[in-house]
Chain A
């Protein structure tokens, strides 16, 4: 292993990108920078922070679409910054806004607490979606994987409903919890949350949530199912 920064330079030709951060309220800021098109919007934000404006506020953690922290509105649509490859966006002018419907702390930084607080405590794991003949080895109770939802807030931002409504992500999570629970009291509690006046009845069936969800939770489908299961 040798110190080798040269290895880290990519050979791809760079392009000039105009990245506009539109925080609402204050004047939008536009940054012009040279970037390789295979980089992501998150990479662009990092470049801005380290070379042009070290006060830029944005969220990020995993850089591969698993943590859910980096969602924002890119060219008008909710998306994960870390999964938005520059070359997949039309043109070289990119506008980034913070998610709608959440308190904006600054720039792209929003506080998602309210959404997370509306979600039930669990479950965080589900049965694995891999079909297998074999039972797991001793010591492993069942083949498991994490739930799909990464709590990114995209669906909440895209949802056009303005009336009292807890929103698609909490309802999808409630439905998953209802599907999994075996405790009748817990079931009752979850159902009364889902069917409260600001629950499923708030939904206008526009399915914007399902369209923007980066990990295909399909919250709109969960809400439709909840509506159907109301009397069961």
Chain B
């Protein structure tokens, strides 16, 4: 057990995984989230368990990490994953020209991509367009975003060292001569504002991370970059269906329960609080989906929604920044802004939440001289429903 108090800001998947990892290493952690848990980007993402194939052509490192993490998640959180595999399908002649380089890139990243006949693809997924010209089998799956995060919250809670506080909004970060000293939190349930003492503060506020950093006087350039998703009623496939072409908009279809969901698009916005769907996104997504699953647009529409990615645009991505994975950054503000004890975590994917937890916990432990190793890739997480034991909303 360690005598260091840690506050994690942000109750999305990233905050959940960081809290779980640090608690497993013996630290005591308080997590504060201004709304319900996962009410930011995490609850609203597309729900793809990325094996990494989507990124293989652009970035082998990210692809490798997704493959590794998706395997681990299937082992440690099987209840939150519909694992049925995925298919990349070539729709046009141009798509076909990518088949070989795509498979090569996947294999290089350790992703067991396998070319199959279009007949076999249609046997797996009869709703596919008969026009498809090539198909590649990959180990993708579907995530339940809320329940995957709950698994991690439950794991943290089970250690007995985590305090999880939803409806607690960070309104200030207090610093002294030797670094951070506490977090000022407005408790929405009681209406009181109080200071939680902290030796270490981890900013895991996703697209809001820039605003949180500002509270400490740190400069972190994060732009919210939302994307739209559209669900139709009815489960058209079991496998995740992706367009075989360099990653773009509207090229992934994820089934989930009795829904089929196409996503996504990407634009820049100034405000992650309220994101409205741009005009044109829905017809675009319907057209894109129909190219792979022709019956998609004929299904009754279920809902369209949007979520914001944090786009990290630091002008200072130099040695100062511990860019520990190319997909996300863990910034030690003690190094870059002389604010000791403050860390920011920006970027990543729901699929790689555990790895972000591990890398951030490594950074925190090394800053505090703690040598406990990470064990989160080994242990199966407790049932997500066990999160509900022991009281919620500060009632423990």
Q: Which residues of A does B touch, CB under 8 Å?
A: 1-5, 7-11, 40, 46-47, 50, 55, 57-69, 82-83, 105-106, 109, 111-113, 116-117, 119, 121-122, 124-125, 128-130, 132-134, 136-137, 139-140, 143-146, 148, 215
Q: Tell whether B126 is near chain A: CB-to-CB under 8 Å.
A: yes
Which residues of chain B are within 8 angstroms of A143 by Cβ–Cβ distance? 84, 238
Query: What is the bound-complex CA distance between A16 and B238, given in angstroms?
Result: 42
Contact of B259 among A66, A106, A113 (CB under 8 A): A66
Q: Tell whether B10 is near chain A: CB-to-CB under 8 Å.
A: no
Contact of A57 among B43, B82, B147, B167 (CB under 8 A): B167
In the complex, the 10 A-B pairs of residues with the closest C-beta atoms, listed nearest first:
A61-B43, A67-B146, A124-B79, A134-B123, A7-B278, A63-B305, A116-B388, A113-B388, A64-B303, A3-B268
Q: Contacts A67-B145, A117-B388: A137 and B269 contacting too (C-beta < 8 A)?
A: no
Name A's interface SS: loop
For the A-B complex, the count of residue pairs with Cβ-Cβ distances under 8 Å equals 179
Q: Contacts A65-B303, A129-B258: A7 and B36 contacting too (C-beta < 8 A)?
A: no
Q: Which residue of B lies closest to A62 (CB)?
A: B43
Within B179-196, which residues are at the interface with A (CB < 8 Å)? Answer: 188-189, 191
Contact of A137 among B137, B235, B270 (CB under 8 A): B137
Q: How many residues of B contact A (CB 8 A)?
A: 69
Shortest distance between the CB of B293 and any CB in chain A (Å): 13
Q: Tell whether B337 is near chain A: CB-to-CB under 8 Å.
A: no
Which residues of chain B are within 8 angstroms of A9 by Cβ–Cβ distance? 276
For A9, A66, A119, A122, the residue with the greatest tally of chain B CB atoms inside 10 Å of its CB is A66
Q: Is the CB of A144 within 8 A of B393?
A: no
Which residues of chain B are within 8 angstroms of A215 by Cβ–Cβ distance? 257-258
Which residues of chain B are within 8 angstroms of A116 by Cβ–Cβ distance? 385, 388
Q: Is the CB of A145 within 8 A of B305?
A: no
Q: Which residue of B lies closest to A68 (CB)?
A: B146
Q: Is the CB of A57 within 8 A of B238?
A: no
Q: Is the CB of A125 within 8 A of B82?
A: yes
Q: Is the CB of B275 within 8 A of A61?
A: no
Q: Is the CB of B305 within 8 A of A125?
A: no
Q: Tell whether B392 is near chain A: CB-to-CB under 8 Å.
A: yes
Which residues of chain A are within 8 angstroms of B279 by Cβ–Cβ distance? 7, 10-11
Question: Would you mind naming 29 contact pairs between A and B with Cβ atoms under 8 Å apart?
Answer: A2-B267, A2-B268, A3-B270, A4-B269, A4-B278, A7-B280, A50-B273, A59-B36, A59-B39, A61-B36, A61-B37, A61-B39, A61-B44, A63-B43, A63-B44, A64-B261, A66-B257, A67-B145, A109-B167, A109-B393, A113-B388, A129-B235, A133-B123, A134-B120, A144-B83, A144-B84, A145-B257, A146-B144, A146-B257
Which residues of chain A are within 8 angstroms of B172 by Cβ–Cβ distance? none
Q: Is the CB of B167 within 8 A of A124?
A: no
Q: Tell whether B344 is near chain A: CB-to-CB under 8 Å.
A: no
Which residues of chain A are within 8 angstroms of B276 by Cβ–Cβ distance? 8-10
For A46, A65, A130, the residue with the greatest tally of chain B CB atoms inside 10 Å of its CB is A130
Q: Tell whether B274 is near chain A: CB-to-CB under 8 Å.
A: yes
Within B255-300, which residues are at the interface with A (CB < 8 Å)? Answer: 255-259, 261, 266-271, 273-280
Which residues of chain B are within 8 angstroms of A66 by Cβ–Cβ distance? 144, 146, 256-257, 259
Which residues of chain A are within 8 angstroms of B110 by Cβ–Cβ distance? none
Q: Which residue of A lies closest to B139 (CB)?
A: A139
Q: Is the CB of A145 within 8 A of B235?
A: yes
Q: Which residue of B lies closest to A50 (CB)?
A: B273
Q: Is the CB of A117 within 8 A of B44?
A: no
Q: Contacts A46-B274, A61-B145: A1 and B395 contacting too (C-beta < 8 A)?
A: no
Q: Is the CB of A117 within 8 A of B39?
A: no
Query: What is the bound-complex CA distance between A145 and B385, given in angstroms?
Result: 18
Q: Tell whether B64 is near chain A: CB-to-CB under 8 Å.
A: no
